[in-house]
Structure 1
Amino acid sequence: MSPRRRSELFRLAVGLAAIGTLAANAGRLAIEPADWWLIVSIAATAILALEFPLHINISAKVSVASAVFFAAVLLLPAWQAAALVGGLQAVDIGLAAIRKVRTTRERPPLRAIGINIVFNGGQAYFAALAAGAMLSLGGVSARSGLSSAEHALVLVAAAVVMYATNVFMVALAVALATARNPLALFFDTQRLVYVQFASLYLVGALAAFGAVRWPWIPVFSIIPGVLLYHSLKQRIELRQDGMRAMERMADEVDRRDPYTFQHSQRVAIYAHAIARKLGFTAAEIDIVELAAKVHDIGKIRIPDSVLLKPAK
């Protein structure tokens, strides 16, 4: 069985398991009355947040919706929150597929779209359910408040569980497709953004506790989330600008030396292909490609009389 096929089967299994769990426990959704104003406000805020993801690299992105989803887990019963979060994530993937078809005029296989929808919805469902279960066991919710240090620890643990469950399932799916270590993927992919994710979960918790007194708070929780979004965006853009500056310096070296003209570009192409063949992550491929482009950057300080080899 090919790695891609294994990944598809895993993602399909996660989605079907989530659907089965939801169906088997459908009765629990009606145990507690639904607060429809709260559900609608959370859904509207989450959909708005999901429309503006921040792509870190080809396989990783951050969304302000993480704050909204954690607020939902704190405000709603565990089964209701999990169903809402999973459903919103699935809807977002479906809408993204529709937009891509309209923009590119390409029609990807329906099977691939379906697997992406059920997997993303499923992993979000299980992440929210795991966090909600931990909060329920610890007796913590936005309505009950934090009455002790133990409750605060339970809150932090729930955020960690929700984040880790979500990210690890994605890392495992990628690992199956690329024959990589899922733990290495987990830590490498999120190394750049763990502080921002922690901030988003903090925003979600504050919004949830505030919503107990002011039900409209979840709608406005998007504001601090957007500020965090722009903070991370500027950080990523600054990193990318630095990489582009080094690439331009390497290009200048290549242009100065006709003997090795475009040598660095050719090395970068080969390095990129080798890294992909070895199953490196997107972040690792970027680093390898950049290193290949700038490996001769030291030539920039060499005088033309030496660099241009006039005696040959």
Structure 2
Amino acid sequence: MKKIAILALGIVLFSCKKEKDAVQTTTQSVETEANEVGGNATAKTDFFIKDLDWSKIPESSANIGAFPYITAPDGFVILADGHNAVAKNGMTVFSDFNKLIMYNGTSFYNAEGKKAEMHFKMAQEKNDFNQFKFDKSVDSYLESIGAVLLFKGQIPKDKLTELNKEDDRTVYNYIQGDPWNSDPVRHYALNHKNGKIMFQIWSNSATGEVGVVELEGFKQTIKAPTASEMQKDIEAKGKVVLDINFDTDKAILKPDGQKVVDEIYNLLSTNSSLKLSIEGHTDNTGNSQHNKQLSGERANTVMYILASKGIDIKRLKAAGFGAENPLVPNDSETNKAKNRRVELVKF
């Protein structure tokens, strides 16, 4: 009897080891493919990569229809924003330009372009959410059109924490679902003949979400205000609000920021009696004391450049207010961008 018991135990342990090895092999296979696509060797992993190696993703010519390229599986519906009705356009949220932060098993990648978010529920309110059917439907469809799975599982929490250091809403805004909890995410890349498309899928026992980005380069539509436009605002309001770009966390002007300062010089040159207070402002991200100091340094940069070009410094003042005087509440990325500004105030 002892021999039989020992033999049985040995079979159980061998079976468990085989199952564990199979799971590890599958995980390693997915991670190896993701590393190859991301172009990152295991020995050297970048936290963010500039781009995926699309040459390693086979091009697809499948019929994928129109953006956002996914519809609700049978028995499911896509909710409108607010979740009180069914979406009429097949999307919960649409943005003409936004991003998803993709993960390939080792590194993150900013997928920027036209973006849609879709939140799913069962068509019949009485039915519990069928997570297995939802996952199977979406994954099978993506595989059928040639999408490549970059990552499946839970993104390591230390990496999510690092992502959130600059803005504690980064993960919430740019990774679909709730990656902080144990529910796995799936990130796909589709190298279609008509464009490059990224998908994120997340689900739990109550709901499912899909995020889609059709990649495209950012097109700048903001133009530097002219001296005459600045003058009109100052005459009407006593001040002008400007978006002057500096290097990140520095008081060094970017080239497009220099163009704005050149227009301020033109304004002052053609209005010899005009005196301006140059006032820097930030959003509320980060340390308030640091923000105030940085906004003051940036205002000083503008003032001294104008003085170096021949404007009498007695006609100028410089001050930094950090996040003390927001134009709008700092409750979204759009509003934060509005609060990061330089104001020229007549005195």
Q: Same fold (TM over 0.5)?
A: no
TM-score, scaled to structure 1: 0.29
TM, length-normalised to structure 2: 0.27
Greater radius of gyration (CA): 2
Which one has a larger percent strand, Structure 1 or Structure 2? 2
Higher RCO (CA 8 Å, separation ≥ 6 residues):
1
Q: Normalized per residue, which structure has more helix? A: 1
